[in-house]
């Protein structure tokens, strides 16, 4: 069974890295990730910019062609970026702008709504939010996904309201949560079967527990086949490729 990995990082010291809150990650190279690709039959995915990469996009332009045609990039970009640069990144395979509210390293939340509409109008990109769902602002965003199941059980009611309005949610980072992920997965799926997009969160920097194979098994054992096929492949590839 093939997997679309909606959230992973590559950490290669040949590209700029920035200490974030006293943390600088260890390398996680393309060759390291390719071992997981083979083990899990990962055939597409989203390479996501971390707080420690700030506004650098050179690594995205370098690695996306090496990963393959069904892989896409998620960049952190300053609000001052030109339309021409956005379209250049679009040509390179970038499909989203990330706002890292939890860790920083990205543009500020004050720029979120304006930038979300700008990149959508220019290139049909979406925005991705790394934020505790209980802190989600009340905004009108044309296309959005929320990282790591919204991070908390307390934020689930707010998260479900966003899902009702069309937001996608990454079924990633189970080791970052303060709760059992299964009830969150089930309730999000019940509201919208197209909302959940599986991802490994590799290499799981700063997570209380890194990604494990049991994270995939949790989905396989608790969803019907047509539903886990959506969650593991169809929802992710359709969201990033259109």
Each residue's pLDDT tens digit, 58-89: 999 999 999 999 999 999 999 899 999 999 99
The structure tokens listed for 209 are 């527990």
* Fold category of 3-241 in CATH: TIM Barrel (3.20.20)
Q: Is omega for the bond preceding 224 within 30 degrees of 0, making it cis?
A: no
Domain segments of the chain as ranges:
3-241
Q: Which of 170, 125, 164, 169 is nearest to 143 (CA)?
A: 125
Taking phi over 0 as left and psi of -120 to 50 as alpha, with beta for the rest, 173 belongs to left
Given this model, what pLDDT does residue 106 score? 58
Given this model, what pLDDT does residue 131 score? 87
Q: Which regions in the chain score pLDDT beneath 50? A: none
SS3 content of the chain, % helix, strand, coil (to 5): 45, 20, 40
Is residue 94 within 8 A of residue 75, CB to CB? The reply is yes
Q: How far is CA 137 from CA 1, 104, 119, in A?
A: 37, 16, 19
Given this model, what pLDDT does residue 144 score? 95
Given this model, what pLDDT does residue 173 score? 93
The structure tokens listed for 97 are 């702008």
Q: Which of 98, 159, 162, 105 is nearest to 130 (CA)?
A: 98
The total number of residues written for the chain in this structure:
242
Is residue 193 within 8 A of residue 161, CB to CB? The reply is no
Q: Which of 64, 91, 145, 78 is nearest to 118 (CA)?
A: 78
**SS3 of residue 240 by DSSP:** helix
pTM: 0.94
């Amino acid at each position: 069974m093939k997997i679309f990995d909606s959230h992973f990082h590559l950490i290669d010291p040949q590209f700029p890295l920035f200490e974030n809150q006293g943390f600088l990650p260890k390398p996680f190279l393309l060759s390291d990730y390719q071992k997981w690709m083979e083990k899990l039959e990962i055939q597409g995915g989203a390479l996501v910019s971390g707080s420690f990469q700030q506004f650098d996009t050179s690594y995205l332009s370098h690695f996306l062609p090496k990963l393959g045609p069904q892989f896409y990039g998620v960049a952190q970009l300053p609000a001052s970026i030109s339309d021409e640069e956005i379209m250049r990144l679009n040509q390179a395979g970038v499909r989203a702008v990330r706002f890292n509210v939890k860790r920083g390293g990205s543009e500020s939340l004050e720029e979120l709504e304006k930038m979300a509409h700008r990149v959508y109008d220019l290139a049909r990109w979406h925005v991705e939010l790394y934020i505790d769902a209980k802190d989600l602002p009340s905004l009108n965003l044309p296309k959005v996904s929320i990282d790591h199941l919204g991070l908390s059980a307390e934020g689930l009611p707010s998260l479900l309201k966003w899902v009702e309005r069309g937001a996608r949610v990454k079924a990633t980072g189970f080791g970052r949560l303060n709760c059992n992920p299964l009830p969150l997965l089930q309730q999000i799926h019940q509201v919208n079967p197209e909302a959940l997009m599986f991802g490994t969160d590799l290499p799981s920097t700063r997570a209380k527990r890194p990604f494990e194979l049991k994270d995939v098994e949790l989905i396989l054992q608790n969803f019907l086949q047509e539903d886990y096929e959506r969650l593991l492949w169809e929802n992710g590839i359709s969201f990033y490729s259109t």
